[in-house]
Amino acid sequence: MMNNLGGLYWSQGRYNDALPLYERTRGIYEKTLDPMHPNVAAILNNLGETYWKLSRYGEAETFLRQSLKIKEARLDARDPSIAITLNALAGVLRDSRRPQEAESAYRRALDIRRNAFKPGNADLAETAAELGAMNEIAISSRFLLHVGEARHDLVRSFPTAFLQLERSSPTCRDPVELGPAIVLGRSPLRTDRTLLLKLQQDRVERSLID
């Protein structure tokens, strides 16, 4: 019951209200369930995601890794529940400025979801979009790093993106503006941020308790 109410608060963005309910649920599970029970993994996942939303990345990573350890030990390696935790862990690592680790976790989650779901599935789209957004920012950063060295070569290296920039902003002709344009979402790799937010709100995992 408390876990479900915590999930409701979480979906409403009331993370500080959800947190104590999740903590109380964890305490109950620790006393009544096997430490490797799937419900224990689920509540640890919920705690990890909540701490992530509160920007408490160290605690978030700890809980998510504990959840992942249980799931990997108890579930099939292709179980979509593993992807839920991997995807959240990737977000924590990304926000902790550890992009290589984040990309690895996103790719693992994407592989699981590709095998589990058909194209168009919301969870599959979420992971693909977040991984794409990371690559988008990386492309932009590399572009800006070299702008002062060879503008002509950079435009030639990113012709599709530059053409897209011209179409979306006819007054912009200087390739220096291409990097910020990619970050702001005007590139062919544009991510729908509104969709991402909705997917994140809908993603929270809830264990079923009577």
Q: Are residues 131 and 176 in the same domain?
A: no
Q: Are residues 150 and 197 in the same domain?
A: no
- Number of folded domains in the chain? 2
Calpha distance 185→96 (Å, rounded): 22
CA-wise closest residue to 133 among 84, 95, 170, 163? 95
Calpha distance 111→93 (Å, rounded): 18
Assigned domain for 210 exists: no
Assigned domain for 208 exists: no
Q: Are residues 36 and 85 in the same domain?
A: yes
| pLDDT greater than 90 at residue 82 | yes
Assigned domain for 64 exists: yes
Specify the pLDDT at position 2.
Answer: 83
CA-wise closest residue to 59 among 100, 123, 15? 15
- The CATH number of residue 15's host domain is 1.25.40.10
Q: Are residues 74 and 88 in the same domain?
A: yes
Query: 209's torsion region: left (phi>0), alpha (psi -120 to 50) or beta?
Result: beta
The residue ranking higher by pLDDT, 109 or 140, is 109
Assigned domain for 91 exists: yes
| Chain segment 19-44, per-residue pLDDT in tens | 999 999 999 999 999 999 999 999 99
Q: Are residues 105 and 13 in the same domain?
A: yes
Q: Are residues 6 and 63 in the same domain?
A: yes
Q: Are residues 89 and 161 in the same domain?
A: no
Q: Are residues 103 and 13 in the same domain?
A: yes
Query: 13's torsion region: left (phi>0), alpha (psi -120 to 50) or beta?
Result: left
CA-wise closest residue to 92 among 122, 62, 67, 66? 62
pTM of the model: 0.67
The parent domain of residue 163 ranges over 140-184
- Render 10-43 in DSSP notation, one character per residue: HHTT-HHHHHHHHHHHHHHHHHHS-TT-HHHHHH
| Chain segment 111-155, per-residue pLDDT in tens | 999 999 988 888 888 888 888 887 765 544 444 444 444 444 444
Q: Are residues 112 and 153 in the same domain?
A: no
